Amino acid sequence: MDVREIRIILYGVGAMGSLIAKALLEKEGIEIVAAVDIGKPLGKDLGEAIGLDRKLGLEVMEPERVLSRIEADLVVHATASYLRITYPQLRACIESGLNIVSTCEELAYPYYKYPGLSMELDGLAKKHCVTVLGSGINPGYLMDTLPIFMTGLCQSVQSIRVVRMMDSSKRRIPYQAKIGTGLSPEEFQRRIEEKAITGHVGLVESVAMIAAALGWRLTNIRELPPEPIIAHREIPTPYVVVKPGQVAGLKSVAKGFMDNEEVITLEFISYAGAEEEYDGVFIKGIQNVEMKILGGVHGDLGTVGVIINSIPKVLNAPPGLLTMKDLPIPSATPKDLRLCLRGDWAEAKGRAFKA
């Protein structure tokens, strides 16, 4: 086989897709062969669409003009959080013979909520000899893959608690708006009822992935309604100045139960002015294990890292719909992504790679 670059199509060049695209341009062994979207970036040069000061010579086009017409190895998919929205997009990519790494939160572990759609995607991916993965910082890493990895120290596990504590004032303005920053408690509650504020998407998927990795048969997974966190002082942010009594952010919680006993607890807490930021994993068992990442992991930077580092894992993986628990331990990749390709499944998929 000839050694060549990995050919990638970008599907979605919004805020997160643009960050991923910029990082991919810094890697060697990668060729971005096309970019697609369905919104404002259409018709623009990719460089302009992602905020560069130079053109890249690629026009952002509609998916139907690209997927079955341009030869590529993998789609980096970054459009929406919900599987029912992204399913037609994913299906079109699979039927075009393209492997997928997606930021879709519900795709990180879709088997619990969408067993039928999951079986369809898995069967379709195997039929077309491609691999599909949903991942990101969370779900995809901090609140599922990382605690699963840490249980490797334990002879047995009784319970797992994961906490993600973030100062949301450091995040993008759309994110601050998404969690209700600056709203009154009444407006926050109204938007919860209208499902304009949904809390953190992916907690249920993370609970289900942890349980599947440990072989636990949960009797119930319960996601609690998001709770507002009320400011007790004035908090300036790049988005809005939060006044005392207004909403500074929110807390989302999901729990997994076995025989009415709470065995998995995930807490996502994000609000402006959080005094302590950390990502923590607390495992009770033989032995107890506790870990804190002081300062926390930057969500956008972490998502970009997980998505890019997953590309060679997916290209080396057997066909089907996989999750992070099915792949080798996540790791940073070298500057040249081709160095990570083993050539076994890549060759079976008809790709001209060589390690």
| Domain boundaries, given as residue ranges, for the chain | 6-136+301-348, 145-296
CA-based R_g, the chain, Å: 21
> Quick one: DSSP state of residue 196?
S
Give the CATH number of domain 6-136+301-348.
3.40.50.720
Could you tell me the pTM of the whole model?
0.93
Cβ pair 133, 323 in contact under 8 A: yes
Cβ pair 323, 144 in contact under 8 A: no
Give the CATH number of domain 145-296.
3.30.360
pLDDT category, 3, cuts 50, 70, 90?
low
Q: What is the pLDDT of residues 291-329, one digit of tens each?
A: 999 999 999 999 999 999 999 999 999 999 999 999 999
**Which pLDDT score, from 0 to 100, does residue 1 have?**
42
**Which pLDDT score, from 0 to 100, does residue 350 have?**
61
Task: State the pairing for strand pair 247-258/220-223.
Answer: antiparallel
pLDDT at residue 354 greater than cutoff 50: no
Cβ pair 253, 221 in contact under 8 A: no
Mean pLDDT across 85-101: 97
**Which pLDDT score, from 0 to 100, does residue 39 have?**
84
Q: What is the pLDDT of residues 168-218, one digit of tens each?
A: 988 888 888 889 999 999 999 999 999 888 889 999 999 999 999 999 999
Q: What is the pLDDT of residues 334-345, one digit of tens each?
A: 999 988 887 677
- Rounded to whole angstroms, how far apart are CA atoms 241 and 251? 20
User: CB burial class (10 A; 0-12, 13-18, 19+) of residue 286?
Assistant: exposed
> Quick one: DSSP state of residue 109?
S
pLDDT at residue 2 greater than cutoff 60: no
pLDDT category, 355, cuts 50, 70, 90?
very low
Q: What is the pLDDT of residues 115-171, one digit of tens each?
A: 999 999 999 999 999 999 999 999 999 999 999 999 999 999 999 999 999 999 888
Mean per-residue pLDDT of the chain = 93
pLDDT category, 349, cuts 50, 70, 90?
confident
Rounded alpha-carbon distances, angstroms, from residue 246 to 9, 113, 176, 251, 301: 43, 34, 13, 15, 29
**Which pLDDT score, from 0 to 100, does residue 237 have?**
86
